[in-house]
Amino acid sequence: MPTRKGPDGRRAHLVPVGGRPARRPGAREAAPSSPPGGAPPRRLWAGRPFPVRVVNAARGVWLAYRTEPNLRFHVFAATAALALAHVTATGGWRLAYLLASVSLVLAAELANTAVERAVDLASRQQPDPVARAAKDVAAGVVLVATVHALAAGWLVFVEPVGPVGLLRLVLGYSTAHPVPAAFLGALVALTGAVGLLAGKGQG
């Protein structure tokens, strides 16, 4: 690199017009410096094996089930709806529609729980109109999904045979198949009992 003497007698390197000094042959170029603030934060689940992620997700579902009474009620209602689908021999697109509606409600409730936790953390549980609006909108998602599920239940169970016909189907199944009917009833009751016990343990 060319040099010249300055006013003080010291030699100074000349910088080309481009503003970047020329490299010496064989010299390595310096690595670019890190952006201000350091490296970006690493994701929480980055690099974790897939089974570990599944376990973490299942733990999140169980946490929401223990702490949210609305989710426990929706699980109870979903169990009752699926038991009724078995009793009425619901299949085909009606069963698929019912399963999709149930899954939508549960997913909306889980998302609502996540939003509530994040808002509480960000606002430190202090009164804030923006935080309240976020919670209200998230709860509105659950409300829309629940209304849709109720409409789906009506279309799947009541619309084909009517309320009286549905009652006859349930009574007829209980008479013709007492053991499976008792098992389904016990399963629904067990789901409700687990929900109550989980709520008491959390309280």
Question: How many separate domains does the chain show?
Answer: 1
Cα–Cα distances in angstroms (integers) from residue 64 to residues 109, 112, 149, in the given order? 9, 10, 20
Distance separating alpha carbons of residues 119 and 121, to the nearest angstrom: 5
pLDDT of residue 124: 85
Q: Is 192 exposed, middle or buried, given 0-12, 13-18 or 19+ CB atoms closer than 10 A? A: middle
Residue 68 marked ligand-binding: yes
State the pTM of this model: 0.73
Mean pLDDT per 10-residue segment, the chain (203 residues): 56 53 55 53 68 94 94 97 96 96 98 95 87 95 98 96 96 96 97 90 59
Q: Which residues does the annotation mark as catalytic?
A: 109
40 within some domain: no
122 within some domain: yes
3 within some domain: no
Residue 109 marked ligand-binding: yes
Domain containing 160: what range?
Answer: 69-202
How many other C-beta atoms can be found within 10 angstroms of the C-beta atom of residue 69? 15
21 within some domain: no
Residue 120 marked ligand-binding: no
Residue 5 marked ligand-binding: no
Half-sphere exposure of 153 (CA within 13 A, CB side): 17
pLDDT of residue 128: 87
Tell me the CATH number at 178: 1.10.287
Name the one residue in this structure whose structure tokens are 């009164």: 127
185 within some domain: yes
